[in-house]
Amino acid sequence: MSRLFPLLILALLLPAPVLAQQGLPAITLSDENGTTYSLSLQILALMTALTVLPSLVLGMTAFTRIIIVLSILRQAMGTMQTPPNQVLIAIALFLSFFVMQPVLTEVYDTALSPYLDGQMAPDVAVRLAWDKLSGFMLANTRQNDLLMFAELAGDAPYASDAEVPVAVLLPAYITSELKTAFQIGFLLFLPFLVIDMVIASILMALGMMMLSPMIVSLPFKLLLFVLVDGWALTMGSLASSFQGAL
């Protein structure tokens, strides 16, 4: 099980011609009319790996923290569906690729490229690729979360990072990402909450009970966010919050 995810990642990175050159056996099927169909095991494995690709992107990269922070920011601003979900996902994907680019470059240089050139065995390439990716995940995982899942798995504290199994690292990493994302989201929410409270107090003092404070505070929150160049600050802070990447 500990080698399943690295194998899936490497399988997704391999182009189709390379897979075809490996010479794995194919499954031959025949129907009632005598027609024979041949299904390559490489294609079958690749299509199976594609089904878990969204989970890999969400759970093993910087995507989780970024999309949660952006969603909380949109809610704090009170802009409802602006930016829309498609735009937020696109921003999160592009920023995740920017954050993960050094790690992906190391994976390509040390594992994928030598394997494609025939200079490295597949198991060695998978191990090196997983070492780079797990190093990024360990750098952004809290020790308390790692120890908690290690105790739940019945393991003693690990002597080195190389001893941490995949089954423990993945839930520990995603738990740490959720906590960090909500901490950043809380800090982003506070200034907008202060504006809402001030506007609500002013409207109440003026006796304008029927006017929604959200409608009045929205232009002021947008003005504040634009004046401080909020998008640039948010993106820069998110990118710099990851350890072992940039």
Residue 242 has pLDDT above 60, yes or no: yes
Residue 24 has pLDDT above 70, yes or no: no
Residues 6+ apart with CB under 8 A from 224: 191, 195, 230
Distances (CA, A) of 135 to 107, 139, 173, 203, 213: 11, 6, 11, 53, 47
Quick: pLDDT tens for 101-137: 888 888 888 888 887 777 878 778 878 888 888 888 8
pLDDT at 203: 82
pLDDT at 28: 53
- Domain membership of residue 42 (yes or no) is yes
Looking at the structure of the chain, the number of domains it has is 1
Strands (E), the chain: 26-30, 36-40
Quick: pLDDT tens for 130-156: 888 888 888 888 888 888 888 888 887
- Domain membership of residue 157 (yes or no) is yes
Residue 33 has pLDDT above 60, yes or no: no
- CB neighbour burial string for 17-45, b if at least 16 within 10 angstroms, e if fewer: eebeeeeeeeeeeeeeeeeeeeebebeee
- Domain membership of residue 245 (yes or no) is no
Q: Are strands 36-40 and 26-30 parallel, antiparallel or unpaired?
A: antiparallel
Q: Which residue has the higher pLDDT, 48 or 28?
A: 48
Per-position DSSP letters for 108-159, written without gaps between them: IIIIIHHHHTTSS-HHHHHHHHHHHHHHHHHHTS-HHHHHHHHHHTTPPPPS
- Domain membership of residue 246 (yes or no) is no
Question: Average pLDDT for residues 12-30, to the nearest whole number?
Answer: 46
pLDDT at 117: 79
Q: How confident is the model at residue 20 (pLDDT cuts 50, 70, 90)?
A: very low
- Domain membership of residue 224 (yes or no) is yes
**Domain containing residue 12:** 4-240
- Domain membership of residue 11 (yes or no) is yes
Quick: pLDDT tens for 35-92: 544 556 557 666 776 777 777 777 888 898 999 999 999 988 888 788 888 999 999 9
The amino acid present at 216, given as its one-letter code, is: V
Q: How many whole angstroms separate alpha carbon 191 and alpha carbon 199? A: 13
Q: How confident is the model at residue 157 (pLDDT cuts 50, 70, 90)?
A: confident
Q: How many whole angstroms separate alpha carbon 206 and alpha carbon 200? A: 10
